[in-house]
Amino acid sequence: MFDNLNFDTNKLLLLLAVTAIFLLVLVAVLFIWITRLSQKYNRFMMGKDAKSLEASLGTSLAKLDKILVSDMQRTKRVEEVAGKLKSSYQKVGIVKYDAFKEMGGKLSFALALLNANDDGFVLNVMHSREACYTYIKEIIKGESYITLGDEEKEALEKAINQE
C-alpha cells in the first residue's frame, strides 16, 4: 500500500518508534507527578474527615478573630501612649556656669526641659557661698515671656535643637 505513495517505510517506522518512546517517557513522568501529588494530598487529609476539617477551620477562624480584637486594643493603647508622650518632657538642655565668679567648680546651672511642642520650663540655680537661688521661667513654643539670661538662653537652645 505504501509502495505506491513513495514513502520510505524504514523512516516511518523510526519516526513511530521515537514518538512511542517519547510518549512512554511522558507517561512515566506524569505517573510520578500524580503519585507525589496523591501522597501530599493523603498527608494533608490524614486523620481528618470533612467534619473535623471544618471544626479545625472554625477554631482557627475564632482564634484569628481574637487576635484581631487584641491587635485593635494594642493599637489603641499605643496611640494613647504616643499622645501622652508628646506632653512629657523629652528634650533637655543644661549649661553649668560660675554665677558669682567667687567660687570655682561651676556649681550653678541652667536646665531646660521641653516636650515635643517645645513647651516646658528653664530652671536656673545660682549657687554662692552664702546662699542658693532658684528661678524657674515658663517656656511656650520655644519662647519665654520673661527675659532669659545668657546661660538660660544657651540651655533653651540646646533643648530645642535636640531631636
The confidence score (pLDDT) of residue 25 equals: 97
Calpha distance 59→70 (Å, rounded): 17
- As a whole number, the mean pLDDT across the chain is 87
Residue 12: burial class (beta carbons within 10 Å; 0-12, 13-18, 19+): exposed
Strands 143-144 and 132-140: antiparallel
pTM value surpassing 0.85: no
What three-state secondary structure class fits 111?
Answer: strand
Question: At 83, is the pLDDT very low, low, confident or very high (cuts 50, 70, 90)?
Answer: confident
Three-state SS string over 124-143 comes to: EEEECCCCEEEEEEEEECCE
